[in-house]
Structure 1
Amino acid sequence: MSITAIVLAAGQGSRFRAEAGADQDKLLADCVGLDGVVRPVIEQVLKNLPSAVADRWVVTSADRPEVIRLAEIYGCKVLLLRSAGMGDSIAAAVAASASANGWLVVLGDMPFIQSSSIERVIAGVEEGGISVPVQDGQYGHPVAFGRAFGPGLMALTGDRGAKPLFAQAAVCEVAVDDPGVSWDVDVPALLHYL
């Protein structure tokens, strides 16, 4: 199934800024990737997307020209959004890619997810289902949604994510050995993968 990736990169990262400084954007913070190369967090996220994901969207704000530039370098369409709410971001991106067969929701601050884990999550999704990676018994990211969830995803608002949709779905739990699926860079100390 061909699936559209939606990379959420519109949040303000207030916890990160509280520790690193108000002018520090966590998406642009230097981070050593799984391959040992230093890149900005958002670039690590985009690099880890498997090549099989051809249709890619990055949702961000107009005041992030470097995020926009990196998104375009990695072949992403850019959707500019004023709201930092996760629900608003998902809804807008799904509406913009409404003809997709399904959507992979990727958080822009999770730079340590293995490409192989993403591929397995995509392989687990069906039209009427949701596929989620599970590490040590805990749900992680990214999450794939089958085409049937388009209307539900487009109805999301504010900062509510898509978790409520899980109650209506056959959820495919994909067991992974990948701490990256639950590792988001909320504070500067988490920029370094252990």
Structure 2
Amino acid sequence: MSQSIGVIVLAAGQGNRFRQVAGDDKDKLLADCMGRDGAVRSVIEQVLVNLPSALDKRFLVTTADRPQVSRMGKAYGCEIVLIETTGMGDSIATGVAAGAQLDGWLMVLGDMPFILPSSIERVVDQIADDCVSVPVQEGEYGHPVGFGRSFAPGLMALSGDRGAKGLFAQGRVVEVRVDDPGVLWDVDVPEKLTFK
């Protein structure tokens, strides 16, 4: 890969739906789940394990009150980017700004532990300057999503809870067809910790 692609792991959201069920003191990113490889790890570690080793420019965006998440990110080669808000848009903007010199960015959600590394690689392979690369499972858009260089201004202008989907209209959308239900599976409630 001649272009330089950075991974931005978004791990600042508080997981309110998860906490409503599991308890206010339960951080879903630290909850144990069994990965598709059969190993039990925390949700955030499963996400980090699944990142292909070729993607070595890594940024993990989180809040200062999650030292365990930050430590895990460091253990997997991430530069830790602390943010005060928990909004998705703020996290994306901050992560892209931290890697502003790169040719593209792959947005990885910290609560999606069941994505196959091969699906991630296929999305990354389709990142180009003027396009959005998105996995499609049975007709539905999933994650992670890749953005080329021309999206930098739009990504860095995001704020609040608004994610980057609105930017899809500003360039080509490359649909990467995958056979991987993990691209749609986020851990928003405790029962989603078990992949079926």
TM-score normalized by the length of structure 2: 0.98
Using the TM superposition, give the Cα deviation of residue 34 of structure 1 relative to its aligned residue in structure 2, in angstroms. Answer: 1.1
Q: In structure 2, what is the Cα distance between the partners aligned to 1:68 and 1:26?
A: 14
Say which of 102, 105, 110 aligns to 1:103.
105
The CA RMSD over aligned residues, in Å, is: 0.5
**Which one of the candidate residues 57, 76, 79 is aligned to 1:55?**
57
2:121 partner amino acid:
E
1:110-151 superposed Cα distances (whole Å, 9 cap, x missing partner): 000000000000011111111000000000000000011111
Mapping of residues 11-50 of structure 1, within 5 Å: 11-50=13-52
Q: Deviations over 1:83-116 (max 9, x none)?
A: 1000000001111110011000000000000000
Structure-2 residue corresponding to 1:160: 162
**Which structure 2 segments of 5+ residues have no match?**
none
Among residues 6, 9, 12, which one is paired with 1:7 in the alignment? Answer: 9
- CA–CA distance in structure 1, aligned partners of residues 14 and 34 of structure 2: 22
Q: Offset of 1:5 from its aligned partner? A: 0.3
For 2:67, the equivalent position in structure 1 comes to 65
Q: Secondary structure at the match of 2:93?
A: helix
Asked whether 1:129 is paired with 2:139, we answer no
Tell me the SS of whatever aligns to 1:79: strand
Residue 169 of structure 1 deviates from its aligned partner by: 1.2
Q: Residues of 2 paired with 1:13 and 1:36: CA distance? A: 25
Is residue 2:195 matched to residue 1:187? no
- How many angstroms apart in 2 are the aligned matches of 1:168 and 1:75? 32
Find the residue that maps to 1:127 and give its secondary structure. coil
Aligned equivalents of 2:80 and 2:92: distance in 1?
Answer: 13
Moved over 6 A (4+): none
Aligned identity (percent) is 65
Aligned counterparts of 1:95 and 1:65: Cα–Cα separation in 2: 22
Separation in structure 1 between the aligned mates of residue 91 and residue 5 of structure 2, nearest angstrom: 17
In structure 1, stretches of 5+ residues that fail to align are none
Q: How many residues align?
A: 194
- Secondary structure class of the residue paired with 2:46: helix
State the alpha-carbon separation in 1 of the partners of residues 102 and 85 from structure 2: 23
- What is the CA–CA distance in structure 2 between the aligned matches of 1:46 and 1:129, rounded to whole Å? 25
Question: How far is the alpha carbon of 1:2 from its aligned partner?
Answer: 2.4
- Alpha-carbon distance in 1 for matches of 2:129, 2:56: 18
Q: Does 1:91 align with 2:93?
A: yes
Letter of the structure 1 residue corresponding to residue 102 of structure 2: A
